[in-house]
Amino acid sequence: MSDVTVPRHMGINWIGLGTIIRREWSRVWRVPIQAFLAPWISALMFIFIFGFVVGGNIRLIAGHRYVEFVLPGVLMLNVVNAAFLQSTSQIYFQRFLRYIEETLVSPLSYVEMIVGSLTMTIVRSVVTALGILAIGVAFHATHMYNIFEFLFWIISVSIVFGLLGIIIALWANNFEQLTMLNVFFIAPLSFVGGVFNTVAMLPHWLKWLAYANPFFYFINGLRDSMIGFDEAPPYLGMSVALALIAVLGGITWRLFKIGYGLRE
Amino acid sequence: MTVPAINIEHLRKAYRSGTVAVQDLSMQVQEGDFFGFLGPNGAGKSTTIHCITGIATVTSGKIEIFGIDAVKNYREARRLIGLSPQEFNVDTFATVTQIVDWMGGYFGMNAAQRKSRVDMLIQRFDLTAHAKKQFRELSGGLKRRVILARALVHDPKLLILDEPTAGVDVELRLDLWRYLQELNAEGKTILLTSHYLEEVERLCRTIAVIAKGQIVRQGPKEEFFTTPGGLEKAYLEATGHRAEHAVAGAA
């Protein structure tokens, strides 16, 4: 092995990349209740109470039952949480227990480290989404208007919040700091981003908030892909998502390159 | 002339806090050498190792591993190094097999290569009965064996051992010494830091002493035995301590 170079195809250490994913898969499966069951139960409660019980007394929205309208929002809410928690926990615990050093001393590139982390983030988000779709089936609320658009939103939003999670995990020096973004930014903005209501339901003076909120475009896009209902052009939302991926990806790569939060 | 295994020129490492841990350090470790790197706590041994292996950034200076720039061509340089760090840096909930296997994976070893190498190392370090245990369940000595097995999984040309026998029992220490001598005889270059002078005396052929971030003495082991008092006295003098005071203090 000593004189054998690390096998790379197209310049990528695929086995190393796969090992990061295997390691993270193993870590997530140590806490399946926290990783998967908790968001599914949370989604079930949201769908049952807001969609089914409360929604039973709400008129149709653009020809769709309220539970069908709510499901994409609840799904997006949980995908965002799954992606953010996965990436923050994997990077922060590696720093906290110092086993980030295993990857730092190995012949992995920064891009391989980032892509490895993001791949597992996408996997966890997709599994979470599939479970919620299955719950929606039980309420006859799951529809698939455009599966390719659906996949675009699940994957792109996972990458956005996966990257954001990596940046926060590199910056945080304690568990309190780790949760700050979720408490003050992600949770409030996702709730006012149209999970439970249309923009038309908002008072006129508050509508600007929806259009200025990136979560609105994510939820709007996913809703369009599931029930064909949108309140803003999906391509505008897609541009927002892709721009965020480019900006956050660039910042993350730069932080890895200078060793911020990683190297002494 | 062969390319040195480690070539460090004017290395300087300053932390963000402003502390300068290593300043203007230059040294060479020749291929095939068993190199002892000595110094008191806080002298800069671990920082130097961290700079070599990529755990720490380099403020200025040059580090080459078998002629490969360890900063510019870090991926090529790192594939040649195996590191056993002073502190346990593992996922403590992972099993022994996983820890060693994952490291092989990072170095691009395929499943068959990993299986054969991991099995051999687990057997070599007498870890078979503990292979499926989580790291946190192991005793200090067993943990140290896992860290050593992990460092060797990709069969590196250069092995860097930072206090490898700290906290291990006499049996493991003697067994480890034998194994390291075997590895060195097979051609592996070994850089060893230790506070046990007996260990360095028995194993190493070349010794460097670092104090306050600088190399204060370096040469073949024999040079450290030319004066009465041997390695201990030479070490204490090199690090700025008077041997008699140290002995009196110990008494």
DSSP-assigned beta bridge partners for residue B106: none
Instruction: Give the domain extent around B186.
Output: 1-80+160-223
Looking at A211-215, B115-119, B247-251, which range is the least confident one?
B247-251
Tell me, yes or no, if B76 comes closer than 8 A to chain A by beta carbon: yes
What pLDDT digit, counting tens, does each position of B152-184 carry? 999 999 999 999 988 788 888 999 999 999 999
Is the model's pLDDT at B250 over the cut of 80?
A: no
What pLDDT digit, counting tens, does each position of A103-115 carry? 999 999 999 999 9
* Residues A239, A243, A244: CA angle, nearest 5 degrees: 120
Question: Is there a contact between A97 and B89 if contact means CB atoms under 8 Å apart?
Answer: yes
- B109 plus B208 within the same structural domain: no
- B173 plus B146 within the same structural domain: no
- B96 plus B142 within the same structural domain: yes
What was the pLDDT predicted at B1?
63
H or E element at residue B145: helix B140-152
**pLDDT confidence of A225, banded at 50, 70, 90?**
very high
Q: Pick from A198, A191, A128, A200: which is nearest to A158 by CA? A: A128
Q: What is the number of structural domains in chain B?
A: 2
What was the pLDDT predicted at B248?
45
Question: Is there a contact between A105 and B75 if contact means CB atoms under 8 Å apart?
Answer: no
What pLDDT digit, counting tens, does each position of B195-219 carry? 888 999 999 999 999 999 999 999 9
Assigned domain for B238 exists: no
Assigned domain for B70 exists: yes
- B194 plus B151 within the same structural domain: no
What was the pLDDT predicted at A182?
87
* Side-chain-facing half-sphere of B133: CA atoms under 13 Å: 13
Assigned domain for B245 exists: no
**Which CATH number do you get for residue B22?**
3.40.50.300
**pLDDT confidence of B37, banded at 50, 70, 90?**
very high
Q: Percent of chain A having pLDDT more than 70?
A: 98
When pLDDT is averaged across residues A230-244 and rounded to a whole number, the result is 93
Tell me which chain A residues have a C-beta less than 8 angstroms from the C-beta of B54.
Answer: 104-105, 263
- B64 plus B164 within the same structural domain: yes
Is the model's pLDDT at A3 over the cut of 60?
A: no
What was the pLDDT predicted at A63?
85
**pLDDT confidence of B49, banded at 50, 70, 90?**
very high
Q: Cα separation of A194 and B144, whole Å? A: 54
- B10 plus B69 within the same structural domain: yes
**pLDDT confidence of A58, banded at 50, 70, 90?**
confident
Is the model's pLDDT at B251 over the cut of 70?
A: no
Question: Is there a contact between B102 and A3 if contact means CB atoms under 8 Å apart?
Answer: no
User: B54 to chain A nearest CA, in Å?
Assistant: 6
What pLDDT digit, counting tens, does each position of A144-193 carry? 999 999 999 999 999 999 999 999 999 999 989 988 888 898 888 888 88
Nearest CB among A7, A99, A108 relative to B89 is that of: A99
- B167 plus B150 within the same structural domain: no
**Class of residue B47 by CB neighbours under 10 A (exposed 0-12, middle 13-18, buried 19+):** buried
Q: Which of B102, B129, B155 is the last residue of a domain?
A: B155
Closest chain B residue to the Cα of A260, Cα to Cα? B57
